[in-house]
Chain A
């Protein structure tokens, strides 16, 4: 159990390290160094930068030095919480991102809950009532979930909501709440707006999990121990839930580690279609405007968030599945 946790933790640290390198590469990729870009930006808006100031900036970011020195300096500043300044917004990156990173986390987490909440009962139901009408219906919905990219789903739902109800389904807040300071009313407003985007985001993953759960449970239900349980006179619900479902959960649970990154990825593109105030629209805008500190920071934060989320879901998995808890590998 300790070994499993350590392994996962090490893997997480390695992933974060790799993501930090990739984020830094992204910051570095545009041609020219970013102090030049910064100065050009400033002078186009009227302010002047003296040669001494520019030299200071170059020193600070270690420009002209080898890649790993620049990377080291960048990493050292990040550890102290200094993510640099957004060139487009002329404010610290952390300030620009603000609540958005938490809303991204909230949306992805809500989608994760929806995925679990739907896939588990539907998967069990489809397996127990194999070839029933409902099973076929869920299979059909499942195939649609796999085949329709979630941004397309968002687009179509938005269109039909508009045509049929004349309502806009976008956003995470009502118009009057969007800029208001946080309060109980605003939280309630958020909770009311959350289900639809979470559902859109969750459909693809749910469809896959239903298929996995159904297949696994079907394998388990044919095992002799289920017959034994029934022969002993266990109630049908108990004979299914107590052992076969738990056994079928294992591969299901190990897939969850890859579900969270998938959801975070998806939230970017769904947010753009639905106009949600997450980091998604901000990231795309920053990349288009080559506002690289902002973009790099968002990529890094999303990466770290994913790794932490995955680690937590691993812990949950360990708690659910005794086989992993006792595995010494």
Chain B
């Protein structure tokens, strides 16, 4: 800490120390910025979508990604080319030709399909809409799927769903983990043994078959929202064990610290010792563990939905998008469907780097 003068260092709070240390971890900083951006993307998913992600059209099936043309002869004037689909009479496949003479211009902040911003404010404003579109025209940045739905718009909405499932799931796991890990450490003895054995049993079970079994039992007539929460709960029920172990380990280590004994001698209540003295010193460890648990949660949801037993259409998530890319025949025909894999990998990687950085920073005195 050469750049921070020692006086400042001496009076800094724990949070400041952690932040200073975290800042030195370049990869983690980049990941943090990236994840903030992705979450912003998720918040404004509908605003960024160019078309209704649920709207199907047989005449736009499997259009390859079309770049946006930013300039024309008059300078900056974003547009896309018109697309015409002709059915090949031999294979009955739609073959698309791009018509560079027909320019479809892009409006910013124009009116598109209706949605609720932040889930509250009904609006029709989108970042990009088309001005003089004919049927079949669209901004196909990432192409379309079999049913002619725009992949970019679907990816935006899917990102929101998959990322929030991670957050909700981790919150539930965190609650269970802190509660059971804490109980295990505070009470010790037989309670501790029982909770620890339960954790070991859960950890030694193959999770995917169990998730699949439980997820398959969700009634068919449940709404998208009900299935969403049920899946989240199923995933978190088996995922709290790592967090519980971290909490218990830290708790036991801190119990022996001098400052805890000092607080005890000063007559502080047990609640005050736990929440005022102990919790702040391992909160950063919990945050690190959470940021490592999040990607696992996201992978779980993606895998379940990919197998057709997680979220169900019309819900859109990363797993559901990848489900369309499941077999080699489809991929040979429409390789751009695999693009949905990129955000999955990037986000998981970023969470892992962030978690590493946080774990290193969590111990600012070390």
Question: Which chain B residues border A148 with CB–CB below 8 Å?
Answer: 345, 348
CA distance A290 to B326 in the complex (A): 22
Cβ 8 A contact of A146, one of B197, B209, B214, B352: B352
Within 8 A of B (CB), among A16-70: 18-19, 22-23, 26, 29-31
If A30-B217, A31-B219, A288-B216 touch, does A261 touch B204 (CB 8 Å cutoff)? yes
Residues from 271 to 315 in A contacting B, C-beta threshold 8 Å:
272-273, 283-284, 287-288, 290, 295-296, 298-299, 302-303, 306-307, 310
Query: A21 to chain B: closest CB distance in Å?
Result: 11
User: What does DSSP make chain B's interface, helix, strand, loop or mixed?
Assistant: helix
Closest to B218 in A: A29
Tell whether, in the assembled complex, residue A268 and residue B212 are in contact, meaning their CB atoms are under 8 Å apart: yes
**B344 partner residues in chain A, CB cutoff 8 A:** 149, 152
Given A14-B197, A147-B345, A284-B308, verify A268-B208 contact (CB < 8 Å).
yes
Q: Which of B256-264, B275-283, B299-307 contacts A (4 or more CB under 8 A)?
A: B299-307
Answer whether residue B332 sits at the interface, using C-beta atoms and an 8 A cutoff: yes
Bound-complex Cα distance A302 to B295 (A):
25
Cα distance A152–B299 when bound, in Å? 10
Q: Is residue A228 contacting chain B, with contact meaning CB distance below 8 A?
A: no
Closest residue of A by beta carbon distance from B349: A147
Binds B, one of A130-138, A153-161, A172-180, A187-195: A153-161
Report chain B residues within 8 Å CB of A266.
208
Q: Nearest Cβ distance between residue B201 and chain A, in whole angstroms?
A: 5
Please determine whether A11 and B197 come into contact, CB atoms closer than 8 angstroms. yes
Contact with B along A139-151 (1 / 0, CB 8 A): 0000110111101
B55 at interface by CB-CB < 8 Å: no
Residues in B with CB closer than 8 Å to A102 are none
Q: Does B87 contact A (CB under 8 A)?
A: no
Known interface pairs A23-B213, A156-B341, A268-B212; A287-B309 also in contact (CB < 8 Å): yes
B216 A14 Cβ-Cβ under 8 A: no
B114 within 8 A of A: no
- B314 at the A interface (CB under 8 A): no
Known contacts A155-B338, A265-B208; decide if A168 and B328 are in contact (CB<8 Å): yes
Q: Is the CB of A261 within 8 A of B206?
A: yes
Is B40 close to A, CB under 8 A?
no
The 8 Å CB contact of B306, one of A14, A15, A151, A303, is A151
Closest Cβ of chain A to B31, distance in Å, is: 11
Q: Is B254 an interface residue (CB 8 A)?
A: no
> Contacting B204 at CB < 8 Å: which of A272, A290, A306?
A306
**Neighbouring B residues of A152 by C-beta, 8 Å:** 322, 341, 344-345
Complex CA gap A257/B349 in Å reads 25
- Residues of chain A within 8 A of B299, CB atoms compared: 149
Q: A11-B197, A152-B322, A287-B216 are in contact. Are A269 and B208 (CB under 8 A)?
A: yes
Is A162 an interface residue when CB atoms closer than 8 A count as contact? yes
Give the chain A neighbours of B226 by CB distance below 8 A.
none
Asked if A273 and B326 make an inter-chain contact with CB atoms under 8 angstroms apart, the answer reads yes
Interface digits, B30-46 against A, CB 8 Å rule (1 contact, 0 not)?
00000000000000000
Chain B residues whose CB sits within 8 angstroms of the CB of A203 once the complex forms: none
- In the bound complex, do residue A258 and residue B206 qualify as a contact, i.e. CB atoms below 8 Å apart? no
- State in angstroms the CA–CA spacing of A287 and B302 once bound together: 18
Contacts of A284 in B (CB 8 A): 212, 307-309
Verify B303–A149 contact, CB threshold 8 A: yes
Q: Does B205 contact A (CB under 8 A)?
A: yes
**Are B331 and A159 in contact (CB-based, < 8 A)?**
yes
A264 at the interface (CB under 8 A from B): yes
CB nearest to A146 among chain B residues: B352
Given A30-B217, A147-B352, A149-B303, A19-B205 contact (CB < 8 Å) = yes
A154–B106 CA distance with the chains assembled, in angstroms: 38
Q: Which residues of A contact B188 (CB under 8 A)?
A: none
The residues of A that contact B206 with a CB separation of less than 8 Å are 261-262, 264-265, 302-303, 306
A299 and B328 in contact, given A14-B201, A147-B348, A288-B216 (Cβ under 8 angstroms): no
Q: Is the CB of B303 within 8 A of A298?
A: no
Q: How far is the CB of A29 from chain B (nearest CB, A)?
A: 3
B123 part of interface (Cβ distance < 8 Å): no
B338 / chain A contacts, CB cutoff of 8 Å:
155-156, 159
Closest partner residue, chain B, to A12 (CB atom): B204
Q: Is the CB of A288 within 8 A of B204?
A: no
From B208, B308, B344, B345, residue with most partner A Cβ within 10 Å: B208
B341-366 interface (Cβ within 8 A of A): 341, 344-345, 348-349, 352
Beta-carbon contact of B212 and A15 below 8 Å? no
CA distance A40 to B251 in the complex (A): 56
**Measured CA separation A144–B346 after assembly (Å):** 10
The answer to whether B217 touches A29, judged by C-beta atoms less than 8 angstroms apart, is: yes
Residues of A within 8 A of B219 (CB): 31
Is B178 among interface residues, defined by CB-CB distance under 8 A? Answer: no
Q: How far is the CA of A158 from the CA of B325 in the complex (A)?
A: 11
**Which chain A residues border B352 with CB–CB below 8 Å?**
143, 146-147
Residues of A within 8 A of B295 (CB): 147
Question: A298 and B209: CB pair below 8 A?
Answer: yes
- Shortest CB-to-CB span from A269 to chain B, Å, is 6
> How far apart are A175's CB and chain B's nearest CB, in angstroms?
15
Question: Given the complex, which residues of A lie within 8 Å of B200, measured CB to CB?
Answer: 11
20 residue pairs of the A-B complex, CB under 8 angstroms, read A11-B197, A12-B204, A14-B201, A19-B210, A22-B213, A23-B213, A29-B217, A144-B345, A147-B349, A149-B303, A151-B306, A152-B341, A155-B338, A155-B341, A163-B332, A258-B204, A261-B205, A272-B307, A284-B307, A306-B205
Measured CB to CB, the residues of B under 8 A from A are 197, 200-201, 203-210, 212-214, 216-217, 219, 295, 299, 302-303, 306-309, 322, 325-326, 328, 331-332, 335, 338, 341, 344-345, 348-349, 352
Apart from A151-B303, A265-B206, A265-B209: 11 A-B pairs, beta carbons within 8 A = A18-B201, A23-B213, A26-B216, A29-B214, A29-B216, A149-B348, A265-B208, A269-B303, A299-B209, A306-B205, A306-B206
Closest 6 interchain pairs by CB? A29-B217, A287-B216, A26-B213, A265-B208, A147-B349, A264-B206
